[in-house]
């Protein structure tokens, strides 16, 4: 089984329930085993053209039997199951699932780029990912997730406190 890392985000609806339920759905897919999840983080939207609610973000590590492309298809189907409409960049969403890392694979196709092309710039990805995979070496740069995290501003990423 291959080890992979995904990022999860939501800023529409009951984000906490959506994120947690999406992990349960993924875990039920044959060939996908949920290994661990990060804490949830409340984050400010980055680069959005109009105001929108804060996000809840986190990361998970999976062991999978699927190829990267097959896993991407499952992630996209899960987004749709939870009400995602379209895949427009910087728009509010009920669920966003991104394939960040798949073993030490470097892949660049029209449909899928691994490692995720903007992962190293995004504190809302690196903070939760470093919590669960700080020593994972991002294969394009050769740097660990922990060292990539040192190069981003994390001020907009706060632990999510449930009431």
Tell me phi and psi for residue 121, to 5 degrees: -100, -10
List pLDDT tens digits, range 85-118: 666 566 778 999 999 999 999 999 999 999 999 9
Q: Which of 14, 17, 84, 153 is catalytic?
A: 84
Domain ranges in the chain are: 2-159
State which residues of the chain have pLDDT below 70. Answer: 48-49, 85-90, 163
Per-residue pLDDT at 49: 66
Based on the residue annotation, tell me whether 96 is a catalytic residue of this protein: yes
For 83: left if phi > 0, alpha if psi spans -120 to 50, otherwise beta; the answer is left
C-alpha dist (Å) from residue 85 to 6, 80, 82, 88, 95: 20, 7, 9, 9, 9
Per-residue pLDDT at 163: 58
Q: Which of 54, 98, 104, 153 is catalytic?
A: 98
Per-residue pLDDT at 45: 82
Per-residue pLDDT at 51: 78
Looking at the DSSP bridge assignments, the partners of residue 43 are 55, 157
Per-residue pLDDT at 119: 95
* Beta strand pairing call for 137-138 and 143-144: antiparallel
Based on the residue annotation, tell me whether 118 is a catalytic residue of this protein: no
Per-residue pLDDT at 101: 98
Q: pTM (2 decimals)?
A: 0.94
Q: Which of 14, 17, 88, 96 is catalytic?
A: 96
Q: Which of 14, 93, 104, 118 is catalytic?
A: 93
Based on the residue annotation, tell me whether 93 is a catalytic residue of this protein: yes
Q: What percent helix, strand, coil does the chain show, rounded to 5?
A: 30, 30, 45
Domain 2-159 has CATH 3.30.1320.10: no
């Amino acid at each position: 089984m291959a080890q992979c890392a995904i990022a999860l985000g939501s800023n529409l609806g009951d984000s906490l329930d959506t994120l947690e339920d999406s992990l349960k759905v993924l875990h039920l897919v044959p060939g996908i085993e949920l290994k661990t999840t990060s804490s949830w983080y409340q984050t400010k939207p980055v680069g959005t053209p109009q105001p929108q609610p804060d996000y809840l973000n986190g990361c998970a590590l999976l062991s999978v039997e699927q190829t990267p492309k097959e896993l991407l298809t499952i992630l996209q189907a899960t987004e749709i199951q939870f009400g995602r409409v379209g895949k427009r960049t910087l728009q509010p969403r009920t669920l966003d699932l991104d394939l960040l890392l798949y073993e030490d694979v470097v892949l660049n196709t029209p449909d899928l780029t691994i490692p995720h092309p903007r992962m190293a710039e995004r504190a809302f990805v690196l903070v939760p990912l470093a919590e669960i995979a700080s020593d994972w070496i991002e294969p394009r740069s050769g740097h660990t997730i922990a060292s990539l995290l040192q190069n981003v501003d994390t001020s907009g990423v706060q632990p999510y406190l449930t009431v």
